[in-house]
Chains A and B, each alone.
Chain A
Amino acid sequence: MNGEYTTVSIPKPLYERIKNIIKDTGFTSVSSFVIYVLREVVASYEQEKIEVFSEEEKKAIIEKLRKLGYI
């Protein structure tokens, strides 16, 4: 099945407060708000993988860029 979901649980008072502040904001549910916030948090942390090119490759690319007049 496409788009699998799972659940998290938060204290009811917190839920109510969130519900309150998202009124008139375009967020249609606490769930859509939590998804938004969590995506933001996780994305800011995602680490860049180690660079995928070697020194030689880099040299060759710089040479090409020089030939084309970009550097």
Chain B
Amino acid sequence: MGEKVTIEIPKELYEKAQKYIQESGGEFKSVNELVEFVLNELLSEEEEETVFTPEEEEKIKQRLKSLGYI
């Protein structure tokens, strides 16, 4: 078991999330699991957006600058 961090959320929101889980047909076992899934999903989207290294980014910015785009 890895280390966990606890986060505060409104009780009502927690309960809505619980209802969501029940109605979504057993995909998630707990609110913890749902939160973890959604956050991971978001992070992977975020990572797709940054498919270049900082060096690449710098190079591209240089080119855009030389062309007058920025």
Contacts and interface: CB of A to CB of B under 8 A. Distances in A.
A15 B6 CA distance: 9
Interface size class of A (residues with CB under 8 A): 20 to 34
B42 A42 contact: no
How big is the B interface, by class? Answer: 20 to 34
A12 B2 contact: yes
A9 B11 contact: no
Given A7-B9, A34-B39, A45 B4 contact: no
Q: Is the interface of B mostly helix, strand, loop or mixed?
A: helix
Interface in A19-66: 21, 30-31, 34-35, 37-39, 41-42, 45-47
A3 interface: yes
Interface of A: 3-15, 17-18, 21, 30-31, 34-35, 37-39, 41-42, 45-47
